Amino acid sequence: MLQAFVNIFRIPELRNRVLFTLGVLIVYRIGFWVPIPGVDQASLIEFAQDAATAETGFGKFLTYAAIFSGGSFSQSTIFGLGIMPYITASIIFQLLQTAVPRLQELRKEGAQGQAKITEWTRYATVFMCLIQGTMWLSFLSSNGLIEPAIRANPVSFFLYYMAGITSLTAGSVFLMWLGEQIDKYGIGNGVSIILTAGIISGMPFAVQWITQNFSMSTQDDAVLGPAGLLFLMLAFVFVVAGAILITVAQRRIPIQQARHTRGRKVYGGGRHYLPLRINHAGVMPIIFASSLMIFPSAFFGYLSSSATASGSEGWWASVTIFLSQNFTMGTYPYILLEIVLIYFFSYFWTTVVFSPDDMARQLRDNGSFIPGLRPGPRTAAYLETVVERITYVGAGFLAVIAVIPVMLSRQMQIPLNVSSFLGGTGLLIVVSVGLDLVQRIEANLLMRNYAGFLSGGEGGGRAPRIRSGRR
């Protein structure tokens, strides 16, 4: 593996792409230290810490959103919205492509149609940045988290809104542009790499928390002892290994190509495989389910606090308190409802992105068929059955990955931003992007006859060339 890293810097083009990607990521991280003008950063940090400690719905939202923004909303910077507005707009247009005929026609046009969809996605990103930026600045203003001099002056207050919205929108659009530059001049898959860098940036804080709360003595008040630390290390290894296994797992369906006779020669007749991913939906089901689960806990918590503040006693107060207590993170109803939502969105997303009829039609047009099945409706029905079964297994894996950080956070009294590295959406994104990055570098090395991470060679260096001699 060390030789593979050396081989990367032996190839000028690959070396330049890797260094360009690293340079873009440095610029990306610098932006998280540029604050928005007018925000009282000290009051914001204190407010965010109190919300996270109280385990309120807003505190959970801040922790969950910080995983994807790459920073922390306790530091309101120009990159505070992160790359998520662009990812959200891309998901929306991907869903619309299955329902809007105009988008379906553009998708069939190839590169030209995809360029048009990308342009509309950028416009939608700006629109979402304006909405999210306005909501965030309004929240800061309503909770008194901006400078007192700005709140007292109407002109300064208006300029605060204009500067804040412009900064947040420009920051997200700039991150979108950086992702496109990585696709063009870097190693590729720029938006995902930026998102992964934001997630990994929280790992030093997790290590710091573990270091501060670890004690070798069982009599201390420390949260983690030797057994707890060993458990976290083993859990991290097993969860990462399981995530890699399920991410690359495939259900291979044998495909037979029809034979064609032209004159005295016979073409085709080869045997291939149609790979179907076990986790075909990726991380989308967890993202949707986790996002929706924020609202029941926040809503029931609001009803419970309202009933308690009003001093009402009776069945309504009892019901609201019961729902508030049983829909907090880690409780049985909370986990059960999240698992149901993950299964629902797994089948929903697979239905949206995978069409058995289109796949069967493509096999028939290419002169291929599944042995024992006639091309057409029989093949489509078989593919649909297989996809339903493997989606059930993939959704079960996603459910296990999703509930691990929530259960550990509640049972072991670990903050969510620490337990999120033992499962959840962030871990799956890091594993998926990491595997894709290794495969891209591997392909570049093998294309130039160098040994990569997953392949061997003579001494791990350049593979020998075979010269054909003359007879």
pLDDT tens digits, 48-95: 666 655 555 555 556 666 655 555 555 677 888 888 888 888 888 887
Q: What sign does the CA torsion over 435, 438, 440, 446 have?
A: negative
pLDDT tens digits, 328-377: 777 788 888 889 988 998 998 888 888 888 888 888 887 788 888 888 88
- Give the per-residue pLDDT at 57: 53
Residue 459: band (very low, low, confident or very high) from pLDDT cuts 50, 70, 90:
very low
Q: Are 51 and 59 in contact (CB under 8 A)?
A: yes
- Give the per-residue pLDDT at 471: 39
Q: Are 95 and 287 in contact (CB under 8 A)?
A: no
Q: Are 31 and 78 in contact (CB under 8 A)?
A: yes
Cα–Cα distance for residue pair 47/65, rounded to 1 Å: 16
Structure-token pair, residue 186: 């870097």
Higher pLDDT, 461 or 153: 153
Does pLDDT of 20 surpass 90?
A: yes
Cβ neighbors of 113 (< 8 A, separation 6 or more) are: 105, 106, 107
Three-class DSSP labels, the chain: CHHHHHHHHHCHHHHHHHHHHHHHHHHHHHHHHCECCCECHHHHHHHHHHHHHCCCHHHHHHHHHHHHHCCCCCCCECCCCCCHHHHHHHHHHHHHCCCCHHHHHHHHCCHHHHHHHHHHHHHHHHHHHHHHHHHHHHHHHHCCCECHHHHHCHHHHHHHHHHHHHHHHHHHHHHHHHHHHHHHHCCCCHHHHHHHHHHHCCHHHHHHHHHHCECCCCCCCCCECHHHHHHHHHHHHHHHHHHHHHHHCEEEEEEEECEEEECCEEEECCEEEEEEECCCCCCHHHHHHHHHHHHHHHHHHHHHHHHHHHCCCCHHHHHHHHHHHHCCCCCHHHHHHHHHHHHHHHHHHHHHHCCHHHHHHHHHHCCEECCCCCCCHHHHHHHHHHHHHHHHHHHHHHHHHHHHHHHHHHHCCCCHHHHHHHCHHHHHHHHHHHHHHHHHHHHHHHHCCECCCCCCCHHHCECCCCCCCCC
Cα–Cα distance for residue pair 306/313, rounded to 1 Å: 12
- Give the per-residue pLDDT at 392: 92
Look at 7-21, 35-49, 160-174, 276-290 and tell me which has the smallest mean pLDDT: 35-49
**CA dist list (Å): 404 to 66, 232, 257:** 19, 11, 44
Does pLDDT of 250 surpass 90?
A: no
Domains and CATH numbers, the chain: 8-201 (1.10.3370.10), 229-422 (1.10.3370.10)
Higher pLDDT, 400 or 66: 400
Cα–Cα distance for residue pair 63/426, rounded to 1 Å: 12
- Give the per-residue pLDDT at 366: 79
- HSE-CB of 223 using CA atoms within 13 angstroms: 15
Listed ranges 100-109, 181-190, 263-272; the one with the highest mean pLDDT: 181-190
Does pLDDT of 9 surpass 90?
A: no
Cβ neighbors of 183 (< 8 A, separation 6 or more) are: 189, 190
Cα–Cα distance for residue pair 288/87, rounded to 1 Å: 13
Structure-token pair, residue 452: 């990569």
Rounded to the nearest integer, the mean pLDDT of the chain is 79
Q: Are 450 and 9 in contact (CB under 8 A)?
A: no
Cα–Cα distance for residue pair 341/280, rounded to 1 Å: 16
CA 122 to chain centre: 19
Cα–Cα distance for residue pair 397/247, rounded to 1 Å: 10
Listed ranges 258-267, 434-443, 457-466; the one with the highest mean pLDDT: 434-443
Does pLDDT of 195 surpass 70?
A: yes
Place of tokens 């700005």: 150
Structure-token pair, residue 161: 């809104």
